[in-house]
Amino acid sequence: MIRTVTTGVALATLMAGAAFAETFEVKMLNKGSDGERMVFEPAFIQAAPGDTIKFLASDKGHNAETGKGLIPEGAEGFKGKINQEIEITLDAEGVYGVICKPHYAMGMVMTIVVGDVQPPEDFLAGRVPKKAKKRFEAQLAGL
């Protein structure tokens, strides 16, 4: 009897956690609602561990992938194909820099912050194109 109750409580707890996870939709666009070209919309998401991000292929010619050196230590990166939607669940807390590979130099980037964290000091220390770096800095300014 105790085993049955314990198993039931454990299953309910697991299912309750999944029920509270959020799914965010991000459009990959040639032109955003503010007139900016080559954007993810929204360009910044504050998520909780276990939340899902769904990248929508709203305009052709885009993908979503983690930028080199722009993910939390120990986290797994992701790489979507051009013109295809990708859905990812982020469990590791930290700051994720997402890029569109073909339009990275044009500044097509977004930031996902998982948990209540600050970006590491060296987050933008690697090779980041000028326009992309400017957009990342603007996205992180509100933290």
Is residue 74 one of the residues assigned to a domain?
A: yes
List the chain pLDDT tens, one digit each, 143 residues: 555 544 455 555 555 445 688 999 999 999 999 999 999 999 999 999 999 999 999 999 999 999 999 999 999 999 999 999 999 999 999 999 999 999 999 999 999 999 999 999 999 998 999 999 999 999 999 78
Annotated binding site: 62, 100, 103, 108
Is residue 42 one of the residues assigned to a domain?
A: yes
Is residue 15 one of the residues assigned to a domain?
A: no
Number of domains in the chain: 1
Strand blocks (E) in the chain: 23-31, 37-41, 44-47, 51-56, 65-66, 86-90, 94-99, 109-114
Is residue 105 one of the residues assigned to a domain?
A: yes
Annotated binding site for Cu cation: 62, 100, 103, 108
pTM across the whole model: 0.85
Is residue 106 one of the residues assigned to a domain?
A: yes
Domain that holds residue 46: 21-140
Calpha distance 138→42 (Å, rounded): 13
The CATH number of the domain holding residue 131 is: 2.60.40.420
Contact 109, 132 (CB under 8 A): yes
Is residue 9 one of the residues assigned to a domain?
A: no
